[in-house]
Amino acid sequence: MPQALSAAALEQLFTQARTHHHWLARPVPDELLHRLYDLLKFGPTSANSCPARFVFIKSAEAKARLRPCLSESNIEQTMAAPVTVIVAHDLTFFDDLPVLYPRADARSWFINGSAEKISRTALQSATLQAAYLLIAARSLGLDCGPMGGFNPALVDAEFLADRQWKSNLLINLGYGDAEQLQPRDPRLSFAEACRIE
C-alpha cells in the first residue's frame, strides 16, 4: 500500500518549493534530464496517450534562437537558466495509441474525430505532463520556473516546424539562487477554492 510521503519530501515538492527567476551558474547534465523524463512519463494521461513533447534548450546557440520568442520580462531569467524546456503537445499523438493503449482501438476515437477533440485531448494531457515534469524535477533536486510569457507562433516556427507539435509553456530548470527569492505570494484557502458536495 502507498504510504504518505515524509514532511521533508512534501516540503521539497510543495510547501517550501518556489518558482525561481534567478539561477546559479551550475549546469544540469543530460543524464539528469533523462532521469527527469523517465519519472514524468509515468503520470496518467487520457488513454495513456502521452501527447507531451519536450525540447530541452541548453546550448548558447539554441538559447539565442529562443530569445526573440520571449516576452521582455522573461529574457534575462531564461538566458541565465541552465535549461529551458519547451513543453509542447503532438497533434498526431493518436498514431502512438496502438502501442500505448493496446486494449482498445483508441486511435479510431481520434482519427475519425474532430480537430477540436484532438486538440483538447492533446493540450489537456500534455498540460498534466508539464505538471509531472515540475514535480519530477523538484524530486530530483532541481528548481523550476514555469512561464507563459512567450510567442507560441514564433517558438513553433523556430523549433517545431518539422512536426505537428504545438508549444504550450516554457519551464526553466536548474539550481535557483535562493538569496534572490521574494516573499512567497499568498494562496487561496480551501474555503475559497474548494467545495465538497
11-24 per-position pLDDT tens digit? 999 999 999 999 99
- pLDDT, tens digit (0-9, with 9 covering 90-100), for 57-85: 999 999 999 999 999 999 999 999 999 99
What's the pTM value of the predicted model, to 2 decimals? 0.96
The amino acid sitting at 36 is L
pLDDT band at 191 (very low <50, low <70, confident <90, very high): very high
CA distance 121 to 110: 9
Residue with cell 539561477: 23
Q: Would you mind telling me the total number of residues written for the chain in this entry?
A: 197
Write down the pLDDT at residue 179.
97
pLDDT tens readout for residues 154-172: 999 999 999 999 999 999 9
CATH number at 25-177: 3.40.109.10
Which residues share a beta bridge with 150?
70
Q: Which residues contact 175 (CB under 8 A, 6 or more apart)?
A: 23, 24, 26, 28, 82, 142, 143
When the pLDDT of each residue in the chain is averaged and rounded to a whole number, the result is: 97
pLDDT confidence of residue 92: 97
Do residues 180 and 111 lie in contact, with contact meaning Cβ atoms separated by under 8 Å?
no
Collapse the DSSP code of 99 into the 3-class scheme (helix H, G, I; strand E, B; otherwise coil) and give the result: helix
Sign of the CA dihedral running 158, 171, 135, 122: negative
pLDDT of 113 reads 77
25 Cβ partners below 8 Å, 6+ apart?
none
Task: Convert the pLDDT of each residue in 121-141 to its tens digit.
Answer: 999 999 999 999 999 999 999
What is residue 160's predicted lDDT score, i.e. its pLDDT? Answer: 98
Terminal CA-to-CA distance of the chain, rounded, Å? 28
What are the start-end ranges of the H helices in 140-184? 152-159
Question: What is the H or E stretch that residue 143 is in?
Answer: strand 143-147
Give residue limits of the domains in the chain: 25-177
